[in-house]
């Protein structure tokens, strides 16, 4: 019997390491809000460069498939996670963007937010992770190809822009414990808006 060959792309060392870091990033975003703001920023400062590195060394390959991959992160999921991070960072969530292509058409500085950037990265990585976990090598390879291309054209720039803003906050003398949040979101309001799959995740952590 001829031995079955494993896919050299989806099971390469660099891909497996990327999957590990991507999964860790997703878990980090999903559990945001359960720690102090400065601790959250310190962890963000460390995981973003690692994620960028692991994505940048992924294998280059072309896709000849015409496949529409399922999207797992809904608008409700996205908004919920972004709001948790935005509430954690408060007035320090926004920063001036200088590398947006739209700057050339704008007379005013463009404003971006760390929470939106992290949510954008999360959305793409979570969709990739969920497709990768299916175990179908064709879907896994297509999901990887799509993730790499989105990194090049979209969330890679989001990542480095967020890192610049996070770096500034980490090495500032801001007392985040005294900050006033943009919105006073109570715990019961957060729980009521939490997507079902996130509720299950948090309940498991309490066991």
Looking at residue 92, what is its pLDDT? 96
The CATH number assigned to the domain holding 139 equals 1.20.120.1550
| CA separation for the pair 33, 199 (Å, rounded) | 14
Q: How many domains does the chain have?
A: 1
| CA separation for the pair 195, 200 (Å, rounded) | 9
Range of the domain at 53: 13-59+72-173
pTM metric for this prediction: 0.81
Instruction: Write out the H or E segment, with its range, that includes residue 28.
Output: helix 13-30
190 in any annotated domain: no
pLDDT tens for the chain, 207 residues long, are: 344 678 999 999 999 999 999 999 999 999 998 899 999 999 999 999 999 999 999 999 998 777 889 999 999 999 999 999 999 999 999 998 866 555 555 566 688 999 999 999 999 999 999 999 999 999 999 999 999 999 999 999 999 999 999 999 999 999 987 764 444 444 444 445 545 545 544 455 555
5 in any annotated domain: no
Among 24, 48, 29, which Cα is nearest to 86's? 29
| CA separation for the pair 172, 165 (Å, rounded) | 11
197 in any annotated domain: no
Please count the residues of the chain.
207
| CA separation for the pair 148, 130 (Å, rounded) | 15
Cβ atoms of residues 114 and 43 within 8 Å: no
186 in any annotated domain: no
Cβ atoms of residues 50 and 79 within 8 Å: no
27 in any annotated domain: yes
194 in any annotated domain: no
């Amino acid at each position: 019997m001829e031995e079955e060959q494993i896919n050299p792309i989806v099971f390469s060392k660099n891909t497996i390491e990327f999957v590990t870091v991507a999964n860790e990033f997703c878990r980090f975003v999903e559990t945001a809000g359960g720690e102090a703001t400065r601790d959250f920023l310190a962890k963000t400062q460390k995981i973003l460069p690692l994620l960028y590195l692991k994505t940048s060394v992924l294998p280059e390959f072309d896709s000849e498939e015409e496949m529409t991959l399922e999207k797992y992160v809904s608008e409700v999921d996205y908004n919920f996670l972004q709001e948790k991070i935005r509430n954690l960072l408060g007035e320090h969530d926004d920063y001036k963007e200088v590398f947006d292509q739209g700057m050339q058409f704008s007379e005013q500085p463009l404003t971006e937010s760390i929470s939106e950037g992290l949510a954008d990265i999360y959305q793409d990585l979570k969709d990739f992770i969920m497709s990768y976990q299916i175990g179908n090598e064709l879907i896994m390879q297509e999901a990887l190809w799509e993730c790499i291309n989105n990194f090049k054209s979209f969330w890679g720039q989001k990542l480095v822009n967020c890192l610049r803003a996070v770096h500034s906050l980490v090495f500032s003398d801001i007392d985040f414990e005294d900050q006033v949040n943009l919105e006073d979101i109570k715990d019961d309001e957060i729980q009521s808006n939490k997507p079902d799959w996130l509720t299950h995740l948090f309940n498991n952590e309490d066991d």
